[in-house]
Amino acid sequence: MRDLCINMNNQKMRNIQSFVKRSGRLTEGQKYGLTDLWAEYGIEPTNHQLIDFKTVFVKRQPVILEIGFGNGDSLLAMAINEPEHNFLGIEVYEAGVGRLINEVHKHQLTNLKIIKEDAVAVLKNNIANNSLFGLQLYFADPWHKKKHHKRRLVQHEFMDIMANKLIHNSFVHMATDWEHYAQQMMQTLENHAHFKNTLSAHTYSPRPKRRPITKFERRGEKLGHGVWDLIFTCTK
C-alpha cells in the first residue's frame, strides 16, 4: 500500500515542474560553454541509465549534488574550495549553465560536472541509490502564492526520493529567504523518518562558512528578506 502511495505521489511530482525556464540572449562566453566546452563538463543522461560517477569524475571521492545553481558562482567557489569533494550541479537555466561551464574551464576543475535537465527526472532515472554524500538546495524557487505551493521542490515525496539517493550519514543543506518556505522545509524534513536536524528541533543554522552568499540571496537581502539555513543529516 505504501509503495502504491509513493508511486502515485511520484506520478504527481512528475507532472508538476518546480521551475519556469528563463530565457534571454546568451553571451558569447555562455554559448561557448554550452557548445564547445559541453562535452568536457556536461553530462547528458540517457533514458533510465544510471550515471557512473567513477567514469564521470577524475577522482573517486564523495559526490555532492546541488540543484538549481542559478548563475553558478557559489557552486564554483565551493568546488574550488573543496577539492576533496566531487560536485554535480543540475540546472535548467541555459545562461547559468553556459556561464558555469566557462568558469569551470577557466579554473581547470575536474571535480564539478553539470546536467542541464529537470533535477527530479534525473534523480528518478539516472542517479543510483546510495550514491550521494550531500544535497544542496539554495534559494529554490519559493512559489510564494498559495495556489503555486504545489510547485515547491521540497515536499515529502521529493525527500523520499532523496532519502533513497543519499548515503547513510550524508547531509542536506537548504537555504531560503522566504520564511513560509523555510517553515515548510523544516516541517518536511523533521517529519521525515530519515532526516535529523544537526541542531536541536525547529532550529535554523547560521550560514556555515563553506556556503558562499548566492546571487538570489543578495537580491533577497536588498529587498529586506531574512535568510534561513537548514542543515540535516540523512540517517537510514
Q: Around 157, how many Cα atoms within 13 Å sit in the side-chain half-sphere? A: 20
What is the distance between the alpha carbons of residues 170 and 125, in angstroms, rounded to a whole number? 21
Instruction: Report the nearest approach of ligand SAM to the CB of residue 153 (Å).
Output: 6
Instruction: Check binding of 67 to ligand SAM (CB under 6 A).
Output: yes
| Local structure of 112: helix, strand or coil | strand
What is the spatial order of strands in the sheet that 86-90 belongs to?
112-115, 86-90, 63-67, 132-138, 166-176, 228-234, 195-197
Question: How many residues touch ligand SAM (CB under 6 A)?
Answer: 22
Which member of 13, 43, 65, 90 binds ligand SAM (CB under 6 A)?
Answer: 90
Closest chain position to ligand SAM (CB): 68
Q: Which is nearer to ligand SAM, 44 or 236 (CB)?
A: 44
**Contact present, 88 and 133 (Cβ < 8 Å):** no
Instruction: Check binding of 158 to ligand SAM (CB under 6 A).
Output: no
Which member of 30, 43, 64, 70 binds ligand SAM (CB under 6 A)?
Answer: 70
Which member of 41, 69, 143, 232 binds ligand SAM (CB under 6 A)?
Answer: 69
**Contact present, 101 and 38 (Cβ < 8 Å):** yes
Which member of 68, 89, 98, 134 binds ligand SAM (CB under 6 A)?
Answer: 68
Which member of 111, 170, 176, 214 binds ligand SAM (CB under 6 A)?
Answer: 214
**Contact present, 142 and 181 (Cβ < 8 Å):** yes
Instruction: Check binding of 180 to ligand SAM (CB under 6 A).
Output: no
Instruction: Report the nearest approach of ligand SAM to the CB of residue 31 (Å).
Output: 18
Instruction: Check binding of 101 to ligand SAM (CB under 6 A).
Output: no
**Contact present, 179 and 226 (Cβ < 8 Å):** yes
Residues 6+ apart with CB under 8 A from 141: 18, 19, 20, 68, 151, 152, 153
**Contact present, 102 and 40 (Cβ < 8 Å):** no
Nearest CA to 153 out of 172, 170, 168 is that of 172
Stretch that binds ligand SAM, among 47-55, 67-75, 166-174, 201-209 (CB under 6 A): 67-75
Which member of 119, 162, 189, 231 binds ligand SAM (CB under 6 A)?
Answer: 119
Q: Which three cell numbers stand for residue 3?
A: 509503495
Instruction: Check binding of 140 to ligand SAM (CB under 6 A).
Output: yes
Residues designated catalytic = 141
Using CB under 6 A, list all residues that contact ligand SAM.
18-19, 67-70, 90-93, 118-120, 138-141, 153, 214-217
